[in-house]
Structure 1
Amino acid sequence: MRLDGKVAVVTGAARGQGEAEARMLAEAGARVVLTDVLADEGRAVAASIGDAARFVRHDVSSAADWERAVAVAEEAFGGVDVLVNNAAIWRTAPVAEETRENLEEILRINLVGPFLGIQAVVPAMRARGGGSIVNISSTAGLRGIRGHSAYGASKFGLRGLTLSAALDLGADGIRVNSVHPGVIDTPMIASIGVERGAGKAPRVPLGRAGVPEDVAGLVLFLASDASAYITGAELAVDGGLSSG
């Protein structure tokens, strides 16, 4: 699958899944704008990709930051064809112990951010005759998971946003799909105390934890013309975890 001539914006691209997604899209021929709040790490990733990449420090909950990210894509590469709403935060707590502050922060990044991103890129995508928006949700957006009330609410909300946006934007040639990773070995899982690098995952039918490239491969497919007739889809990348 090739993305020659396409321009992608990938949020949360300084490390983990977002970095893998940005690298894979660039390797397929896309020019990529990487965004993140982790400025030093993001600049280093963009520099390692080369001339086909730019980095923008970006708070996804800021409409002004979204305008700036889109402007960089337009000025550097001529437009936007692909948006990957990857940036997210993940915190866990039993529902009775969850705080309103934590809930609001998770919703601000995980749901308001993608909403603002969709609004920001639509004019640029319309100008290019269409595009592809890939929202990175979670298996926590497909089923309830103990201790994930706030995170799960944000990811179920992202599912709803994806479906409505797919209906609203189909006539513009803009496809909107959601990807639902399971246990993926990234820095984010380490941040909540999950051991990285263990490899084995007994509850996963395929018997292993995923790696960022497992998610990035599906993102590449959804960004490409190979998925031209797919919109409003909800695709799990979880080794079969959500099957039963």
Structure 2
Amino acid sequence: MSILRAGKLALVTGAGSGIGREVCRVLAREGANVVAADQNITTAQETVAFLEGTEHIALHINVEDRNSVKTAFKDVVKQYLKPPTIIVNSAGIVRKMFLMKPDDSNFDDVINVNLKGTFLVTQIAVNMLMEGNANTNSSIINISSIAANGRYVGYSTYNASKAGVIAMTKSASLELGQFGIRVNAVLPGFIDTPMISHISEEAREMHINNIPLQRFGKPEEVAEVIVFLASDRSSYINGASIEVTGGLI
């Protein structure tokens, strides 16, 4: 039995790979119509190609750019005649850079994608929901990270961007709950996705030794939590930050 209401429309950013792609798969499995949005339209199309059902589309989106986000949402409404009531902000990048080394370009990239991008998608989605009288029982899920606790050396900007997502999620939940829009965050730990493919075998072993479950997580293990938060089964969860880390703190 599906945990989503029939005909639910979901938009997922960062849908071309990793957690975003897996979220699309689980949403489609549960009967949602999925908009797989990504800056790389080719990978978004690849995601759509293996989803269950036929009412799915791939969409180009640059989450850093307000006009791109607006255009994407207008295209969705034009296609489906309604705005998406499930929004998953999964677009994200990670860059290693030490605090003492000046690197404005990388700083801007990380903040603009991870934090500003989440803000723009959320803001424009909410405005569309309100204009379309579709706000009741809507759900926004933001992807933060266990790195938001700031314990990883060399990732101060990434850590800060993900901590900002948590703070913004909490504030948004207070602001939007009265309109029937829930906003929650998921904090993955080390998940086996392309984002951590650069980690050496030595580093992988070190991190695994620090995880109580003694392994990296799978994208589907994060996706199942996200889809739960998108469903009515989580109807009284609002403003929460849920860790999916195998016990890593």
> Is this contact kept in 2: 1:166–1:177, CA < 8 A?
yes
> Is this contact kept in 2: 1:10–1:85, CA < 8 A?
yes
Given candidates 12, 29, 34, the residue that maps to 1:10 is 12
Given candidates 166, 175, 179, the residue that maps to 2:173 is 166
Report matched runs for 1:129-144 at 5 Å. 129-130=135-136, 131-144=138-151
Q: TM-score, normalised by structure 1?
A: 0.93
Total equivalences in the alignment: 240
Alpha-carbon distance between aligned partners in 2 of 1:231 and 1:139, rounded to the nearest angstrom: 19
Given candidates 44, 47, 53, the residue that maps to 2:46 is 44
Structure 1's consecutive aligned runs of 4 or more residues displaced over 4 angstroms after TM superposition are none
What percentage of residue pairs aligned between the two structures are identical?
38
* Amino acid in the other structure paired with 1:66: V
1:58 aligns with 2:65: no
> Is this contact kept in 1: 2:143–2:186, CA < 8 A?
yes
Structure 2 counterpart of 1:205: 212
> Is this contact kept in 1: 2:11–2:37, CA < 8 A?
yes
Structure 2 counterpart of 1:193: 199
Q: Is the partner of 2:208 in helix, strand or coil?
A: coil
RMSD: 1.8
Q: Deviations over 1:176-199 (max 9, x none)?
A: 001000000001111x4355xx79
Alpha-carbon distance between aligned partners in 2 of 1:96 and 1:188, rounded to the nearest angstrom: 24
Mark the runs of 5 or more structure 2 residues left unpaired by the alignment: none
Deviation of 1:53 (Å): 1.0
1:182 aligns with 2:189: yes
Mark the runs of 5 or more structure 1 residues left unpaired by the alignment: none
Q: TM-score, normalised by structure 2?
A: 0.91
Q: Deviations over 1:31-81 (max 9, x none)?
A: 111111112111121133252211111110111111122123222222211
Alpha-carbon distance between aligned partners in 1 of 2:247 and 2:87, rounded to the nearest angstrom: 26
Which range moves more in the overlay, 127-136 or 219-228? Answer: 127-136
Alpha-carbon distance between aligned partners in 2 of 1:69 and 1:51, rounded to the nearest angstrom: 20
Alpha-carbon distance between aligned partners in 2 of 1:27 and 1:35, rounded to the nearest angstrom: 18
Alpha-carbon distance between aligned partners in 2 of 1:115 and 1:5, rounded to the nearest angstrom: 26
Deviation of 1:98 (Å): 5.1
1:115 aligns with 2:114: no
> Is this contact kept in 1: 2:150–2:156, CA < 8 A?
no
* Amino acid in the other structure paired with 1:209: F
Alpha-carbon distance between aligned partners in 2 of 1:98 and 1:35, rounded to the nearest angstrom: 32
Alpha-carbon distance between aligned partners in 2 of 1:79 and 1:64, rounded to the nearest angstrom: 17
Structure 2 counterpart of 1:128: 134
1:86 aligns with 2:86: no
* Amino acid in the other structure paired with 2:16: A
